[in-house]
Amino acid sequence: MASIPLGIRFLPTVNGEKRNISYRIFILIFTFLCYASYHLSRKPISVVKSVLHHNSCSGIDHDGRVIPVTENSTWCDWAPFDGDNSNSLLGYLDVAFLFSYAVGMFISGHVAERMSLRYFLSAGMIISGFLCALFGLGYFWNIHSLAFFIIVQAAAGFFQSTGWPAVVACVGNWYGKGRRGLIMGIWNSHTSVGNILGSIIPGIFVSYAWGWSFIVPGLIIGGLGILVFLFLVPHPADVGCELPNHQGTDQKQTSINPYPRSAADLSQLESVQTYDDVKQPLLDKTSSRDSLVPRKDNAITLFRAIRIPGVIEFSLCLFFAKLVSYTFLFWLPKYIDKTTPSYGAEKSADLSTLFDVGGIVGGILAGVISDHSGARATTCFIMLALAAPMMYVYNVYGSLTFTTNVVLLMSCGLLVNGPYALITTAVSADLGTHKSLQGNARALATVTAIIDGTGSIGAALGPLLTGLISGTGSDGWNDVFYMLIAANVFAMILLGRLVYKEIRGCRCCSSTS
């Protein structure tokens, strides 16, 4: 067992039921802040794109000289992004980050199940913070090498992949299945909160020194990484709290520590009358009563995880859902600045946060609906079906007025991020604690990594295609939205079998009642 974190040892001791509640609330808030910082540190590139290549330049250059207004002036651009192929080069930065993130996700899930989540997450956050700041230092060091920026983005993507398997596994360890959709729907708003902060904070610096747009978020995530090392408790057993109910039944879990550290703990374990209900997945059945020891679950293989019912369908669905979501994440400020040049880079960045505000509502709504209906696939299917026409409406009418832009942008965020949030949280946690695993507690990170890793490949593909398509002419952005709508339709189709099974299950239940 991992040792109790140093910071936890200095906190006041809480006993009884309050101990369980206090730790669960603490873990929920702490992991919320941790993953918000991940998104905070990956968002700046979308804000800075508008100043790496301006539509037109005028005013005062970097040396303080007055420059006349000329439509084709490029003094304020940052080489090598000052040419006509700027969108393609910026797309290469996105794909370097996201493909590296996707590859790293599969590796991270494998590693996270085999080492302390506290060490794993802490190291990932500190290194991610360093790499984010390093990208910003390219401004102050006057670096204009495309290779430098691509290498830093690729390395950042790899280490950013440490976050999701670790935080989902940690929250899944502490929370059972009962209200998982609602709890994780609220908790998953960290993605949107991180995106919002990742637009506002870099937006403060983007107009005069874009390097700080990366350095400040890098310092934030790195600082939180140090706190993770000091305070994160990945599993209830680490501090003697009761285990959650992962099967959604009414059976109450014991409040004793199922991983005894001492003879006293073991004595308490043996004296519980209902112990058979708890010890089955945790203790070696062949052990005698005099030599009870915790059974160490083996971390499952990728092949075993893929065979869990629903993993393939939800993974492929997330491939297309995340393609859409990350296209908005990396290109929305640039799109707004292009379609409404009067807003400017800073206002476009601020306006883009409304997509994530809608995403917060969408994630919570999807969680609540799926909890009450028990139909997670159907919930995703309906929201995806509504998102496709909403994106078309936003592209056509979003730039007419500021009010129209606000309303349609929030509506798109709600419908696009709702299914994405549900799949990456409650669905991943459900499948990671699936009954076919027979109580194996070391599958969460692997299953989460498979689902989100597959989705991350789509997340890499979307921004790359957007960079190539958007620069093809006057209809480039229209073609981008057609691509996003098509991706939404494919995501719906991939959920067809699961939706059919859920509807059939509901009919069977209603007929028997």
Yes or no: say if 166 and 120 are a contact pair by the CB < 8 Å rule.
Answer: yes
Residue 240 φ/ψ region, left for φ over 0, alpha for ψ in the -120 to 50 degree band, beta for the rest: left
Candidate from 87-96, 154-163, 353-362 with smallest mean pLDDT: 87-96
Residue 172: per-residue pLDDT: 78
Give dist(CA 164, CA 143) in Å, integer: 31
Q: In the structure, what pLDDT confidence band is assigned to residue 513 with cuts at 50, 70 and 90?
A: low
Residue 160 predicted with pLDDT over 80 = yes
Give dist(CA 128, CA 165) in Å, integer: 15
Token reading at 446: 């692997």
C-alpha Rg value of the chain to the nearest Å: 24
Q: In the structure, what pLDDT confidence band is assigned to residue 297 with cuts at 50, 70 and 90?
A: low
Share of the chain above pLDDT 90, in %: 34
Residue 487 predicted with pLDDT over 50 = yes
Identify the CA nearest to 121 among candidates 182, 166, 155.
Answer: 166
Q: What is the mean pLDDT of the chain?
A: 79
Yes or no: say if 328 and 408 are a contact pair by the CB < 8 Å rule.
Answer: no
Share of the chain above pLDDT 70, in %: 78
Direct distance between the N- and C-terminal alpha carbons of the chain, in angstroms, rounded to an integer: 47
DSSP string, 19-65: HHHHHHHHHHHHHHHHHHHHHHHHSHHHHHHHHHS-SSEEEE-TTS-
Yes or no: say if 136 and 209 are a contact pair by the CB < 8 Å rule.
Answer: no
User: What's the whole-number mean pLDDT along residues 282-286?
Assistant: 38
Residue 250: per-residue pLDDT: 41
Residue 236 predicted with pLDDT over 90 = no
For residue 4, the one-letter residue type is I
Token reading at 131: 């790499």
Residue 43 φ/ψ region, left for φ over 0, alpha for ψ in the -120 to 50 degree band, beta for the rest: alpha
Residue 33 φ/ψ region, left for φ over 0, alpha for ψ in the -120 to 50 degree band, beta for the rest: alpha
Kindly report, residue by residue over 119-131, the tens digit of the pLDDT: 999 999 999 999 9
Buried b or exposed e, range 83-105, using 16+ CB within 10 angstroms: eebbbebbbbbbbbbbbbbbbbb
| Residue 354 or residue 17, greater confidence | 354
| Residue 89 or residue 474, greater confidence | 89
Residue 463: per-residue pLDDT: 84
Kindly report, residue by residue over 27-45, the tens digit of the pLDDT: 999 999 999 999 999 889 8
Count of residues in the chain = 513
Give dist(CA 450, CA 315) in Å, integer: 7
Kindly report, residue by residue over 405-460, the tens digit of the pLDDT: 999 999 999 999 999 888 987 787 778 766 665 555 566 777 878 888 888 889 88
Residue 246 predicted with pLDDT over 80 = no
User: What's the whole-number mean pLDDT along residues 209-218?
Assistant: 94
Return the SS3 of 9. Answer: helix
Token reading at 461: 């593909």
Return the SS3 of 69. Answer: strand
Return the SS3 of 283. Answer: strand
261 DSSP assignment: -
Which helix (H) or strand (E) covers residue 68, if one does?
strand 66-70
HSE-CB of 219 using CA atoms within 13 angstroms: 9
Give dist(CA 396, CA 478) in Å, integer: 9
Delimit the domains of the chain by residue range: 13-56+76-239+300-512
Which helix (H) or strand (E) covers residue 66, if one does?
strand 66-70
Q: In the structure, what pLDDT confidence band is assigned to residue 192 with cuts at 50, 70 and 90?
A: confident
Sort 319 into a burial class: Cβ within 10 Å, 0-12 / 13-18 / 19+.
buried
Residue 311 predicted with pLDDT over 50 = yes
User: What's the whole-number mean pLDDT along residues 71-98?
Assistant: 74
Residue 434: per-residue pLDDT: 64
Give dist(CA 141, CA 7) in Å, integer: 37
Token reading at 224: 């939180």
Residue 254 predicted with pLDDT over 90 = no
Yes or no: say if 350 and 343 are a contact pair by the CB < 8 Å rule.
Answer: no
Residue 379 predicted with pLDDT over 70 = yes
Buried b or exposed e, range 261-298, using 16+ CB within 10 angstroms: eeeeebeebeeeeebeebbeebbeeeeeeeebebbebe
| Residue 374 or residue 36, greater confidence | 36
- Of 1.20.1250.20, 3.40.50.2000, 1.10.357.10, 3.40.50.720, which CATH number belongs to 13-56+76-239+300-512? 1.20.1250.20
Q: In the structure, what pLDDT confidence band is assigned to residue 141 with cuts at 50, 70 and 90?
A: very high
